[in-house]
Amino acid sequence: MTPHADESLHDIQATLAVEMVKQLPHLTPDAFMTLVGRHVRQLNDVFQVPVPQADLVEAGVLQNSFPAFLLLQRRDPARASWWVVHTWQDYTGELHRLPAVDDKQSLLAYDEAVHQFLASAERLDEGRRILRRLTAVLGLAQDEAGRMFGVSGETIRRWDRGKVRIPDSRLASLVSAEAALARLEALFLPDRLPQAIRRPAELFQGERALDLILRGRISDVASRYEAVLAYQA
């Protein structure tokens, strides 16, 4: 890179850092992406990136600028702008390897696929968090958790290890169960809840609350406890 080109690159990076600072009071992902996209297009124009590859360069930089967004959230615009510019340099340094992208729909489809993949991973993490919370608070073994959600204990273990995706229907059941658990936690001290659900009670026709919970009826258990405790109060 010539001294003039290096100076132009430095100027654009400095300008980007200044404009990033202006965004800090109201930083949003949309505004950040708009700002980064504008400067990437400026870089492409100044350094005459061929039009067929320019869209791919812009998409690549935008997709890989999340660390820059985090750096800016942490009030470090210098490193955030450095990340963007050096990511652009990485892509343009491989221009001879980048295919021409004539159909922007393919980029949009790929972005949507990435979004769906990340959303699926987030749902998996949320399901694992809820599952671990339920087993810990209620004192359930994984085989018991399996009975609660109509699957085998081995399936629960595979969910917990992230080996398989938790189906959407089961994830909905996990979310509902956690909401019922929160209702139970509002009624019992933490160390009393596991004991209470393991005692046979007239409230459950001589069964244990745990028996209903293992049949997938934790919401019913919470409602019955709420009703009887409200009556006693």
Nearest to 149, CA basis, from 172, 133, 165, 129:
172
- Which contacts (CB < 8 Å, 24+ apart) does range 194-202 have? 194/137, 194/138, 194/139, 197/138, 197/221
In sequence order, what are the residues at sequence separation of 6 or more whose Cβ sits closer than 8 angstroms to the Cβ of residue 101?
Answer: 52, 53, 55, 56, 59, 107
Q: Grade residue 94 by pLDDT with cuts at 50, 70 and 90.
A: confident
pLDDT at position 117, please? Answer: 65
Give the global pTM.
0.56
Q: Grade residue 101 by pLDDT with cuts at 50, 70 and 90.
A: low
pLDDT at position 1, please? Answer: 56
d(CA 174, CA 127): 7
Is the distance from CB of 115 to CB of 109 less than 8 angstroms? no
In degrees rounded to 5, what are phi and psi of residue 200? -60, 140
d(CA 154, CA 148): 13
Distances (CA, A) of 80 to 16, 84, 133, 173: 9, 7, 37, 41
d(CA 230, CA 233): 5
pLDDT at position 222, please? Answer: 95
